[in-house]
Protein backbone atom coordinates (compact mmCIF):
# COMPACT_ATOMS: atom_id res chain seq x y z
CA UNK A 1 0.00 0.00 0.00
CA UNK A 2 1.29 3.44 -0.87
CA UNK A 3 1.08 6.07 1.85
CA UNK A 4 1.95 9.49 0.61
CA UNK A 5 3.88 11.76 2.92
CA UNK A 6 0.94 14.13 3.06
CA UNK A 7 -1.54 11.41 4.11
CA UNK A 8 0.92 10.22 6.68
CA UNK A 9 1.24 13.65 8.22
CA UNK A 10 -2.52 14.20 8.37
CA UNK A 11 -3.24 10.67 9.66
CA UNK A 12 -3.64 9.70 13.30
CA UNK A 13 -0.12 8.23 13.48
CA UNK A 14 1.60 11.56 13.03
CA UNK A 15 3.00 11.70 16.50
CA UNK A 16 6.46 13.03 17.26
CA UNK A 17 7.85 9.50 17.57
CA UNK A 18 6.39 8.46 14.24
CA UNK A 19 7.78 11.58 12.56
CA UNK A 20 11.24 10.85 13.88
CA UNK A 21 11.00 7.38 12.34
CA UNK A 22 10.12 8.74 8.89
CA UNK A 23 12.80 8.18 6.32
CA UNK A 24 13.87 11.53 4.92
CA UNK A 25 12.10 12.24 1.66
CA UNK A 26 14.30 14.36 -0.57
CA UNK A 27 12.37 16.83 -2.66
CA UNK A 28 12.93 16.25 -6.39
CA UNK A 29 15.17 19.01 -7.76
CA UNK A 30 13.46 21.66 -9.81
CA UNK A 31 14.91 22.65 -13.16
CA UNK A 32 15.87 26.31 -13.21
CA UNK A 33 17.50 26.52 -16.62
CA UNK A 34 17.60 24.36 -19.75
CA UNK A 35 20.47 25.20 -22.07
CA UNK A 36 20.80 23.83 -25.60
CA UNK A 37 24.55 23.39 -26.03
CA UNK A 38 25.35 23.36 -29.74
CA UNK A 39 29.05 22.83 -30.12
CA UNK A 40 31.34 22.49 -33.12
CA UNK A 41 29.02 23.65 -35.85
CA UNK A 42 31.86 24.14 -38.34
CA UNK A 43 29.67 26.04 -40.78
CA UNK A 44 31.07 26.21 -44.32
CA UNK A 45 29.76 26.50 -47.88
CA UNK A 46 30.50 22.83 -48.60
CA UNK A 47 28.81 19.55 -47.64
CA UNK A 48 25.39 21.13 -47.10
CA UNK A 49 26.59 22.41 -43.72
CA UNK A 50 24.37 25.51 -43.85
CA UNK A 51 21.23 23.40 -44.21
CA UNK A 52 22.54 21.12 -41.47
CA UNK A 53 22.98 23.99 -39.00
CA UNK A 54 19.55 25.33 -39.98
CA UNK A 55 18.01 21.89 -39.36
CA UNK A 56 19.71 21.74 -35.97
CA UNK A 57 18.45 25.20 -34.94
CA UNK A 58 14.92 24.34 -36.11
CA UNK A 59 15.07 21.08 -34.13
CA UNK A 60 16.08 22.91 -30.95
CA UNK A 61 13.05 25.16 -31.33
CA UNK A 62 10.55 22.37 -31.99
CA UNK A 63 11.31 19.98 -29.13
CA UNK A 64 7.74 20.17 -27.89
CA UNK A 65 6.33 18.87 -31.19
CA UNK A 66 9.21 16.50 -31.94
CA UNK A 67 9.97 14.90 -28.57
CA UNK A 68 7.22 16.23 -26.30
CA UNK A 69 9.73 17.96 -24.04
CA UNK A 70 10.25 21.59 -23.08
CA UNK A 71 12.49 23.65 -25.31
CA UNK A 72 15.57 25.40 -23.91
CA UNK A 73 15.71 28.84 -22.30
CA UNK A 74 18.76 29.75 -24.34
CA UNK A 75 21.35 28.37 -26.73
CA UNK A 76 25.06 28.33 -25.97
CA UNK A 77 27.28 27.58 -28.93
CA UNK A 78 30.38 25.77 -27.71
CA UNK A 79 33.00 27.05 -30.16
CA UNK A 80 34.17 26.19 -33.66
CA UNK A 81 31.15 28.01 -35.04
CA UNK A 82 32.85 28.16 -38.42
CA UNK A 83 34.85 25.48 -40.23
CA UNK A 84 38.17 27.27 -39.87
CA UNK A 85 39.64 30.75 -39.67
CA UNK A 86 42.96 29.90 -38.05
CA UNK A 87 44.56 28.91 -41.34
CA UNK A 88 42.15 30.71 -43.70
CA UNK A 89 42.52 33.93 -45.65
CA UNK A 90 40.35 36.98 -45.19
CA UNK A 91 37.82 36.20 -47.95
CA UNK A 92 37.22 32.63 -46.82
CA UNK A 93 36.88 33.68 -43.18
CA UNK A 94 34.38 36.40 -44.08
CA UNK A 95 32.38 33.95 -46.18
CA UNK A 96 32.04 31.54 -43.24
CA UNK A 97 30.98 34.22 -40.70
CA UNK A 98 28.46 35.55 -43.23
CA UNK A 99 26.92 32.07 -43.41
CA UNK A 100 26.63 31.84 -39.62
CA UNK A 101 25.09 35.30 -39.33
CA UNK A 102 22.55 34.51 -42.04
CA UNK A 103 21.54 31.06 -40.76
CA UNK A 104 21.17 32.41 -37.24
CA UNK A 105 18.97 35.33 -38.26
CA UNK A 106 16.83 33.14 -40.54
CA UNK A 107 16.42 30.12 -38.27
CA UNK A 108 16.83 31.13 -34.65
CA UNK A 109 14.46 33.05 -32.41
CA UNK A 110 16.22 32.16 -29.17
CA UNK A 111 18.94 33.99 -27.28
CA UNK A 112 22.38 32.74 -28.35
CA UNK A 113 25.54 33.07 -26.25
CA UNK A 114 28.78 31.90 -27.83
CA UNK A 115 32.07 30.36 -26.72
CA UNK A 116 35.12 31.00 -28.91
CA UNK A 117 36.76 27.86 -30.34
CA UNK A 118 40.16 27.36 -31.92
CA UNK A 119 38.70 27.39 -35.43
CA UNK A 120 37.01 30.75 -34.74
CA UNK A 121 40.41 32.43 -34.20
CA UNK A 122 41.63 34.16 -37.32
CA UNK A 123 45.06 33.89 -38.85
CA UNK A 124 47.39 32.36 -36.27
CA UNK A 125 48.64 29.99 -38.99
CA UNK A 126 50.13 32.98 -40.78
CA UNK A 127 51.62 31.21 -43.73
CA UNK A 128 48.32 29.88 -45.09
CA UNK A 129 46.13 32.67 -43.72
CA UNK A 130 48.44 35.28 -45.28
CA UNK A 131 48.26 37.37 -42.10
CA UNK A 132 50.94 39.52 -40.48
CA UNK A 133 49.36 39.81 -37.03
CA UNK A 134 48.78 43.55 -37.46
CA UNK A 135 45.29 43.20 -38.98
CA UNK A 136 42.54 44.80 -36.84
CA UNK A 137 40.51 41.55 -36.91
CA UNK A 138 43.50 39.26 -36.29
CA UNK A 139 43.18 36.51 -33.69
CA UNK A 140 40.03 36.56 -31.55
CA UNK A 141 38.91 40.07 -32.49
CA UNK A 142 36.91 38.88 -35.50
CA UNK A 143 34.97 36.31 -33.43
CA UNK A 144 34.40 38.86 -30.63
CA UNK A 145 32.96 41.29 -33.18
CA UNK A 146 30.69 38.55 -34.56
CA UNK A 147 29.53 37.66 -31.05
CA UNK A 148 29.04 41.33 -30.21
CA UNK A 149 31.36 41.61 -27.27
CA UNK A 150 34.65 43.04 -26.18
CA UNK A 151 36.44 40.02 -24.75
CA UNK A 152 36.51 36.35 -25.65
CA UNK A 153 35.28 35.42 -22.14
CA UNK A 154 32.33 36.60 -20.08
CA UNK A 155 29.88 35.62 -17.35
CA UNK A 156 26.23 36.28 -16.59
CA UNK A 157 23.49 35.21 -14.17
CA UNK A 158 20.43 33.30 -15.32
CA UNK A 159 17.81 31.19 -13.57
CA UNK A 160 19.58 31.35 -10.22
CA UNK A 161 22.82 30.07 -11.79
CA UNK A 162 26.06 31.87 -12.60
CA UNK A 163 27.20 31.03 -16.13
CA UNK A 164 30.84 31.48 -17.19
CA UNK A 165 32.02 31.33 -20.80
CA UNK A 166 35.78 30.82 -20.93
CA UNK A 167 38.25 31.36 -23.71
CA UNK A 168 40.31 28.15 -23.85
CA UNK A 169 42.47 28.88 -26.85
CA UNK A 170 45.96 30.35 -26.62
CA UNK A 171 48.75 30.44 -29.18
CA UNK A 172 51.49 27.89 -29.23
CA UNK A 173 53.93 28.16 -32.12
CA UNK A 174 51.66 28.74 -35.11
CA UNK A 175 48.78 26.70 -33.59
CA UNK A 176 47.21 26.65 -30.11
CA UNK A 177 46.93 24.89 -26.77
CA UNK A 178 44.13 24.74 -24.20
CA UNK A 179 44.69 27.07 -21.23
CA UNK A 180 43.83 30.47 -19.77
CA UNK A 181 46.30 33.34 -19.78
CA UNK A 182 47.17 35.38 -16.66
CA UNK A 183 44.65 38.09 -17.43
CA UNK A 184 41.81 35.57 -17.69
CA UNK A 185 42.93 33.72 -14.54
CA UNK A 186 42.80 37.00 -12.62
CA UNK A 187 39.36 37.69 -14.03
CA UNK A 188 38.08 34.16 -13.24
CA UNK A 189 39.43 34.28 -9.67
CA UNK A 190 37.63 37.59 -9.09
CA UNK A 191 34.48 36.52 -10.93
CA UNK A 192 34.01 33.34 -8.85
CA UNK A 193 34.91 35.15 -5.63
CA UNK A 194 32.02 37.56 -6.26
CA UNK A 195 29.43 34.75 -6.63
CA UNK A 196 27.48 33.98 -3.43
CA UNK A 197 28.42 30.45 -2.22
CA UNK A 198 24.77 29.34 -2.47
CA UNK A 199 24.63 30.20 -6.19
CA UNK A 200 25.66 27.26 -8.37
CA UNK A 201 28.09 27.87 -11.24
CA UNK A 202 28.27 26.32 -14.72
CA UNK A 203 31.43 26.84 -16.77
CA UNK A 204 31.50 26.51 -20.55
CA UNK A 205 34.81 26.19 -22.41
CA UNK A 206 35.60 24.97 -25.92
CA UNK A 207 38.45 22.68 -24.92
CA UNK A 208 37.67 20.22 -22.07
CA UNK A 209 39.05 21.16 -18.64
CA UNK A 210 39.06 17.53 -17.50
CA UNK A 211 38.48 14.60 -19.84
CA UNK A 212 39.46 11.00 -20.46
CA UNK A 213 38.80 11.41 -24.18
CA UNK A 214 42.41 12.30 -25.10
CA UNK A 215 43.37 8.93 -23.57
CA UNK A 216 40.58 7.16 -25.43
CA UNK A 217 41.61 8.51 -28.83
CA UNK A 218 45.38 8.38 -28.46
CA UNK A 219 47.34 5.72 -30.27
CA UNK A 220 49.35 2.95 -28.63
CA UNK A 221 52.23 4.01 -26.41
CA UNK A 222 55.45 3.67 -28.40
CA UNK A 223 57.53 0.62 -27.41
CA UNK A 224 60.10 1.41 -24.75
CA UNK A 225 58.12 4.36 -23.33
CA UNK A 226 56.73 4.21 -19.85
CA UNK A 227 54.35 7.15 -19.99
CA UNK A 228 51.62 8.44 -22.22
CA UNK A 229 51.66 12.01 -23.39
CA UNK A 230 48.48 13.93 -24.05
CA UNK A 231 48.30 16.75 -26.60
CA UNK A 232 47.83 20.18 -25.04
CA UNK A 233 45.48 20.95 -27.89
CA UNK A 234 43.06 18.28 -26.58
CA UNK A 235 42.56 19.45 -23.02
CA UNK A 236 43.43 22.30 -20.68
CA UNK A 237 47.11 22.07 -19.72
CA UNK A 238 46.21 24.13 -16.62
CA UNK A 239 43.68 21.51 -15.38
CA UNK A 240 45.46 21.29 -12.00
CA UNK A 241 44.88 24.99 -11.33
CA UNK A 242 41.17 24.52 -12.03
CA UNK A 243 41.03 21.67 -9.47
CA UNK A 244 42.54 23.99 -6.86
CA UNK A 245 40.08 26.75 -7.68
CA UNK A 246 37.09 24.39 -7.58
CA UNK A 247 38.22 23.10 -4.17
CA UNK A 248 37.76 26.68 -2.91
CA UNK A 249 34.52 27.32 -4.81
CA UNK A 250 32.46 24.20 -4.17
CA UNK A 251 29.53 25.86 -5.92
CA UNK A 252 31.13 25.13 -9.32
CA UNK A 253 28.93 22.22 -10.37
CA UNK A 254 29.65 21.59 -14.01
CA UNK A 255 32.18 22.25 -16.77
CA UNK A 256 30.76 21.85 -20.27
CA UNK A 257 32.93 21.55 -23.37
CA UNK A 258 33.05 20.56 -27.01
CA UNK A 259 36.13 20.31 -29.26
CA UNK A 260 36.47 16.52 -29.19
CA UNK A 261 33.29 15.81 -31.23
CA UNK A 262 32.63 13.02 -28.73
CA UNK A 263 30.24 12.51 -25.83
CA UNK A 264 31.52 12.01 -22.32
CA UNK A 265 30.63 12.54 -18.68
CA UNK A 266 33.23 12.61 -15.91
CA UNK A 267 32.10 13.18 -12.32
CA UNK A 268 35.02 14.21 -10.17
CA UNK A 269 35.10 15.89 -6.78
CA UNK A 270 31.60 17.24 -7.03
CA UNK A 271 31.98 18.65 -10.55
CA UNK A 272 30.26 17.12 -13.58
CA UNK A 273 32.44 17.46 -16.68
CA UNK A 274 30.45 17.08 -19.88
CA UNK A 275 31.79 16.89 -23.42
CA UNK A 276 28.88 17.30 -25.78
CA UNK A 277 29.47 15.76 -29.22
CA UNK A 278 29.20 18.00 -32.27
CA UNK A 279 26.51 19.52 -34.46
CA UNK A 280 28.73 18.62 -37.47
CA UNK A 281 29.70 15.19 -36.01
CA UNK A 282 32.55 14.16 -38.35
CA UNK A 283 32.98 17.65 -39.90
CA UNK A 284 29.82 17.05 -42.00
CA UNK A 285 31.33 14.02 -43.77
CA UNK A 286 29.69 11.41 -41.57
CA UNK A 287 29.65 10.33 -37.97
CA UNK A 288 32.77 10.87 -35.89
CA UNK A 289 33.24 7.49 -34.22
CA UNK A 290 29.83 6.80 -32.64
CA UNK A 291 28.80 10.44 -32.20
CA UNK A 292 25.63 11.33 -34.09
CA UNK A 293 25.01 14.80 -35.53
CA UNK A 294 23.48 16.38 -32.45
CA UNK A 295 23.38 18.79 -29.57
CA UNK A 296 22.98 18.54 -25.81
CA UNK A 297 20.27 19.71 -23.48
CA UNK A 298 21.94 20.68 -20.21
CA UNK A 299 19.46 20.99 -17.35
CA UNK A 300 20.57 23.04 -14.33
CA UNK A 301 18.55 22.44 -11.17
CA UNK A 302 17.87 24.49 -8.04
CA UNK A 303 19.90 22.10 -5.87
CA UNK A 304 23.00 22.43 -8.06
CA UNK A 305 22.51 19.10 -9.82
CA UNK A 306 23.04 18.85 -13.57
CA UNK A 307 21.63 16.47 -16.17
CA UNK A 308 22.63 16.18 -19.81
CA UNK A 309 20.80 14.57 -22.68
CA UNK A 310 22.31 14.30 -26.18
CA UNK A 311 19.78 14.92 -28.94
CA UNK A 312 20.48 13.76 -32.50
CA UNK A 313 18.58 16.07 -34.89
CA UNK A 314 18.25 13.55 -37.71
CA UNK A 315 20.98 14.78 -40.08
CA UNK A 316 22.67 12.43 -42.51
CA UNK A 317 25.87 13.32 -44.35
CA UNK A 318 25.29 14.17 -48.03
CB of 233 to Zn ion, least distance (A): 11
Scored b (16 or more CB within 10 A) or e, 43-75 reads: bbeebbbbebbbbbbebbbebeeeeeeebbbbb
120 binds Zn ion (CB under 5 A): no
Residue 84 found at the interface with Zn ion (CB under 5 A): no
**Residues contacting residue 122 through CB under 8 Å, at least 6 positions apart:** 85, 86, 88, 93, 129, 131, 135, 137, 138, 139, 140, 141, 142, 143
Smallest gap from residue 250 Cβ to Zn ion (A): 31
Identify which of residues 73 and 292 has a Cβ nearer to Zn ion in the complex: 292
Q: How far is the CB of 293 from Zn ion (least distance, A)?
A: 13
**Interhelix angle 49-60/90-107, nearest 10 degrees:** 30
Smaller CB separation from Zn ion, 40 or 167: 40
Nearest distance from residue 79's CB to Zn ion, in Å? 7
CB of 218 to Zn ion, least distance (A): 18
Query: How many amino acids of this chain bind Zn ion (CB under 5 A)?
Result: 2
Q: Which is nearer to Zn ion, 80 or 167 (CB)?
A: 80
Nearer to Zn ion, 40 or 146 (CB): 40
Q: Does the protein bind Zn ion through residue 167 (CB under 5 A)? A: no
Does position 146 interact with Zn ion (CB under 5 A)? The reply is no
Dihedral (CA of 71, 75, 77, 83) sign: positive
What's the rounded Cα separation, in Å, for the pair 140 and 317?
A: 30
What is the closest distance, in whole angstroms, from the C-beta atom of residue 71 to Zn ion in the complex?
25
Report which of 94, 59, 51 is spatially closest to residue 311, judged by C-alpha positions: 59
DSSP symbol at 257: E
Does residue 38 contact residue 107 with C-beta atoms inside 8 Å? no
Shortest Cβ 78–Zn ion spacing (Å): 9
CA-to-CA distance for 204 and 158, rounded, in angstroms? 14
Closer to Zn ion at the Cβ: 80 or 299?
80
The number of beta carbons lying within 10 Å of the beta carbon of residue 183 is 10
Q: Which stretch binds Zn ion (CB under 5 A): 7-15, 33-41, 94-102, 262-270?
A: 33-41
| Beta carbon of residue 278, minimum distance to Zn ion (angstroms, whole number) | 6
Residue 77 or 251 having the CB closest to Zn ion: 77
Q: Which stretch binds Zn ion (CB under 5 A): 35-43, 170-178, 180-188, 227-235?
A: 35-43
Considering only 43, 53, 61, 80, the residue that binds Zn ion (CB under 5 A) is 80
Stretch that binds Zn ion, among 22-30, 74-82, 151-159, 310-318 (CB under 5 A): 74-82
Give dist(CA 217, CA 69) in Å, integer.
34
Measured from the CB atom, the residue of 161 and 295 that comes closer to Zn ion is: 295
40 binds Zn ion (CB under 5 A): yes
Q: Which is nearer to Zn ion, 40 or 238 (CB)?
A: 40
- Range in contact with Zn ion (rule: CB under 5 A) among 47-55, 80-88, 89-97, 193-201: 80-88
Integer Cα distance of 281 and 47 in angstroms: 12
- Minimum Å distance from CB 26 to Zn ion? 39
Angstrom CA distances, 187 to 75, 151, 191, 249, 256, stand at 24, 11, 6, 15, 19
d(CA 291, CA 297): 15
Greatest Cα-to-Cα distance within the chain, rounded to the nearest angstrom: 82
Can you give the binding site for Zn ion, defined by CB under 5 A? Answer: 40, 80
Amino acid sequence: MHISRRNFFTGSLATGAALAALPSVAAAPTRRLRIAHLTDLHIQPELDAVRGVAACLEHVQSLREKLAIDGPDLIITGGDTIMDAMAAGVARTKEQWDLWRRVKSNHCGLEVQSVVGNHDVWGWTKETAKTTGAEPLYGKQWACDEFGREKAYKSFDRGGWHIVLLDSVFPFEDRYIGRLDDEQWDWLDADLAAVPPATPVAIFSHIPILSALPIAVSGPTPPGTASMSLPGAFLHVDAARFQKLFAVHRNVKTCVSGHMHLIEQVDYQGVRYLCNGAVCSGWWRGKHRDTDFGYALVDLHDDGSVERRYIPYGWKAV
